[in-house]
Structure 1
Amino acid sequence: MAHPPEIRAKLRAAYVYDRLPLETAAEKCGVSYATARRWKSDAEAEGDDWERARSAARLAGDGIRQVTQMILDDYLTLHQATIEDVKAGSEIGPLQKAEVLSRLADAFTKTMSAVAKASPELGRLAVATELLQDLAGFVRNHFPHHAEALVEVLEPFAAEAARKYG
């Protein structure tokens, strides 16, 4: 039985935009699962990759914000763990600690910049974070003997800033 092109378009929309499983989308459109698989395969052979379109549609919505937030959360967890290791590391001298903090500050700034570009909603947090990083750099360069105390203060304050601006 031949189906009108509108049914194929409806199936694609249900699969790509509504994110229904192909079998469910086929039922919704009144076609067999085998037909839906064939249409999907034919479309891919013609350059219309439904899987790619589905991923792009997900990212176009809240997906990019969710992915960005997930990446940021993972980075911040690792960042905080590294700071804890540096604070606890008695075998690391003050200058080495300052160097580690400098590298962390640089990585943090770059990460926040990338996050702000990927998710403008997180831009306010990026500005607040950049200010904290500037403060950390200033203290590291002009008052290195206060670096450990600053880390002790910045750690909980960064979490507070993330709650307020994130």
Structure 2
Amino acid sequence: MAHGDDTKRAVRAAFVFDGLELPAAAAKHGVAEGTARRWKYQAKEVGDDWDKARGAQMLAGGGIEEVARQTLAIVVMQVQTTVQAINESPDMRPEVKVQMLTSLADAYNKLLAASRRLMPETSQLATAMDVLQKFGQFIRDKYPKHLAAFAEVLEPFGDELGKY
């Protein structure tokens, strides 16, 4: 079935301006997903990158703060899941646990640093994560016998930080 330029523009608008994923944008306008993907690819070939246009729209429309919040929420859930998995690994040595937790805290810190400009309230949480990372390194270097206890209390303490 052939679609006109109006339908193609409507699918693009739904993707770029309404923020719909491509399958949803296509379905909204009665277009097969494959057709919409082809249009998107063809447009990119001639300089109309729908993904870049969508990103620009998100930034211009103030949606970036919401995206940053959603990203942080996803990362926080992943951090909690990972910390729980580390804590529930009986065969993992405490030194390995702390190294993994330190690495996780570092990655989390980097995400917070990037979002700090977008969401100033995350600055306090970033500072807290930096302190935790340094504290973990201090324990590993000076009091290695306490690594297991540190790993055990880190997750519930993270939950407490989330309340502030």
* TM-score normalized with structure 2 length: 0.60
- Tell me, in whole angstroms, the C-alpha distance in 1 between the residues paired with 2:129 and 2:114: 13
Write the letter of the residue equivalent to 2:91: E
Note the alpha carbon deviations across 1:99-143, whole angstroms, 9 max, x for none.
Answer: 222222222222222222443332222122222222222222222
Asked if the contact 1:102/1:140 (under 8 Å) is kept, the reply is: no
RMSD: 3.4
- Are 2:95 and 2:140, in contact at CA under 8 Å, matched by a contact in 1? no
Q: CA deviation at 1:146?
A: 1.5
- SS of 1:120 mapped into structure 2: coil
Count residues in correspondence: 129
Matches within 5 A, 1:24-103: 55-103=55-103
Superposed displacement of residue 67, structure 1: 0.8
Q: Secondary structure at the match of 1:163?
A: coil
TM-score by length of 1: 0.60
Pair member with larger Rg: 1
Matches within 5 A, 1:1-166: 55-164=55-164
Which runs of 5 or more residues in structure 2 are unaligned?
1-12, 19-46
* Equivalent residue number for residue 25 of structure 2: none
